[in-house]
């Protein structure tokens, strides 16, 4: 068995903490955290409380120097500069989405990374989701006809994201289309084929605030796709459905469900709520990160897939 890869983390917000916990608790065979960097004193205090054996290093450069693979969980504007620095140092890179705040920069980054054979992938956790695996098994017996994607939120940012509201609530880097809809577009691309946006509309409350509603029509591998998203239309922190042929669906991230003969949705026998499934998913993602770092096949989202998703997301947001 291969030794775990040395994982460095830049950005210790919610996502950085989740992946660190997964590496410590569920995926020690895949990755060993060797250091974190985040400029926030609060982040340093949280790291010391959660993982006293993992050092808060003095700079991004120090993390890059110490790791084999760099996980970038900083705000989007920092993604490409950090990724380029890590790749130049010969490291593998695992990025949060979106790739960048500027599409031209994202396109140039992906083109260069592909041309040089860079070891890089993007954290779309549905690539390792047991619920998605169940959907794939059910889909094998279907002739796809139409897909509907719906997302809704009580507030944006969600309650657990308020510490990052300074950028998540702003049009430049945040919004639920980038943060949430992108996951379902990735799932759609993986399940059904290339995406093409036909029409879209986005609503903004004013100033530089992020969107509060979107609608769009797309195709995926030629299949019609409807998409809608809104804030303030559900009492739930986060509610979503990905429904194929009105026959199978993914609900609230982790529930694979099938429509029964009586017209009722029935969960897969091993369905779990997202908070219980998430550690399993992240363990799978970390196994993929280790394989990617070693130059082996892996299921993680490629840079090209992430760019295709971002192209659609930014076109939707520009349609306001």
Domain ranges of the chain: 5-125+279-301, 127-272+309-317
Strand pairing category for 223-231 and 213-220:
antiparallel
Three-class secondary structure assignment of the chain: CCCCEEEEEECCCHHHHHHHHHHHHCCCCCEEEEEEECCCHHHHHHHHHHCCCCCECCCHHHHHHHCCEEEECCCHHHHHHHHHHHHHCCCEEEECCCCCCCHHHHHHHHHHHHHCCCCEEECCHHHHCHHHHHHHHHHCCCCCCCEEEEEEECCCCCHHHHHHHHHHCECCCCCHHHHHHHHHHHHHHHHHCCEEEEEEEEECCCCCECCCEEEEEEEECCEEEEEEEEECCCCCCCEEEEEECCCEEEECCCEEEEECCCCCEEECCCCCCHHHHHHHHHHHHHHHHHHHHCCCCCCCECHHHHHHHHHHHHHHHCCC
Which tens digits make up the pLDDT trace of 245-279? Answer: 999 999 999 999 999 989 999 999 999 999 999 99
Instruction: Answer yes or no: are the C-beta atoms of 183 and 252 closer than 8 Å.
Output: no
Residue 1 has pLDDT above 60, yes or no: yes
What distance lies between CA 227 and its chain's CA centroid?
Answer: 18
* pLDDT of 130: 97
Instruction: Answer yes or no: are the C-beta atoms of 9 and 19 closer than 8 Å.
Output: yes
Rounded CA Rg of the chain:
19
Residue 26 has pLDDT above 70, yes or no: no
Which tens digits make up the pLDDT trace of 7-25? Answer: 999 999 999 999 999 999 8
Residue 308 has pLDDT above 70, yes or no: yes
Report residue 2's pLDDT band, with 50, 70 and 90 as the boundaries: confident
Dihedral over Cα of 239, 299, 314, 169: its sign: positive
Residue 206 has pLDDT above 90, yes or no: no
- Which token pair is 271? 């369905």
**Residue with the two structure tokens 């908070």:** 275
Please tell me the pTM assigned to this model. Answer: 0.95
* pLDDT of 101: 86
Q: Is pLDDT larger for residue 2 or for residue 274?
A: 274
Instruction: Answer yes or no: are the C-beta atoms of 23 and 286 closer than 8 Å.
Output: yes
Fold for 5-125+279-301, please state it: Rossmann fold (3.40.50)
Which tens digits make up the pLDDT trace of 38-88? Answer: 999 999 999 999 999 999 999 999 999 999 999 999 999 999 999 999 999
Residue 27 has pLDDT above 80, yes or no: no
> What number is the average pLDDT over the span 279-294?
96
Residue 163 has pLDDT above 90, yes or no: no
* pLDDT of 55: 97
Query: Which of 181, 217, 187, 216 shows the shortest CA–CA distance to 301?
Result: 187
Which tens digits make up the pLDDT trace of 92-144? Answer: 999 999 999 899 999 999 999 999 999 999 999 999 999 999 999 999 989 99
Homologous superfamily in CATH for domain 127-272+309-317: Dihydrodipicolinate Reductase; domain 2 (3.30.360.10)
- Which token pair is 60? 């991004």
Contacts of 37 (CB under 8 A, 6+ apart): 8, 9, 10, 12, 56, 57, 58, 59, 60, 62, 63
- Which token pair is 294? 């070693």
- Which token pair is 85? 């620095």
Report residue 28's pLDDT band, with 50, 70 and 90 as the boundaries: low
Residue 230 β-bridge partners: 152, 213
Q: Measured between alpha carbons, how far is 222 from 147 in angstroms, rounded to an integer?
A: 11
Query: Over the chain, what is the mean pLDDT?
Result: 96
- Which token pair is 232? 């303030």
- Which token pair is 70? 């760099």
Contacts of 187 (CB under 8 A, 6+ apart): 124, 126, 132, 242, 250
> What number is the average pLDDT over the span 282-308?
97
């Amino acid at each position: 068995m291969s030794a775990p890869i040395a994982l460095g983390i830049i950005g210790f917000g919610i996502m950085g903490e989740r992946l660190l916990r997964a590496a410590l608790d569920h995926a020690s065979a895949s990755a060993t955290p060797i250091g974190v960097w985040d400029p926030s004193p609060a982040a340093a205090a949280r790291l010391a409380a959660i993982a006293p054996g993992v050092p808060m290093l003095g700079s991004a450069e120090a993390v890059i120097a110490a790791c084999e693979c760099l996980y970038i969980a900083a705000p989007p504007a920092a993604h490409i500069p950090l990724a380029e620095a890590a790749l130049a140092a010969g490291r593998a890179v695992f990025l949060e989405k979106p790739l960048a705040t500027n599409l031209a920069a994202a396109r140039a980054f992906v083109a260069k990374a592909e041309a040089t054979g860079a070891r890089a992938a993007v954290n779309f956790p549905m690539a390792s989701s047991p619920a998605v695996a169940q959907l794939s098994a059910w889909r094998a017996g279907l002739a796809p006809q139409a897909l509907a994607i719906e997302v809704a939120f009580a507030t944006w940012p969600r309650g657990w994201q308020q510490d990052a509201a300074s950028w998540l609530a702003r049009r430049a880097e945040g919004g639920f289309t980038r943060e949430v809809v992108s996951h379902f577009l990735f799932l759609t691309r993986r399940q059904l084929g290339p995406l093409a946006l036909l029409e879209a509309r986005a609503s903004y409350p004013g100033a530089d605030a992020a969107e509060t509603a979107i609608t769009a029509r797309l195709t995926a591998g030629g299949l019609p796709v409807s998409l809608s998203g809104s804030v303030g239309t559900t009492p739930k922190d986060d509610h979503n459905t990905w429904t194929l042929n009105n026959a199978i669906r993914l609900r609230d991230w982790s529930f694979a469900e099938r429509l029964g003969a009586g017209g009722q949705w029935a969960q897969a026998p091993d369905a779990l709520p997202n908070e219980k499934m998430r550690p399993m998913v992240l363990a799978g993602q970390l196994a993929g990160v280790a394989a990617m770092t070693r130059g082996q096949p892996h299921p993680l989202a490629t840079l090209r897939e992430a760019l295709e998703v971002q192209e659609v997301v930014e076109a939707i947001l520009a349609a306001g």
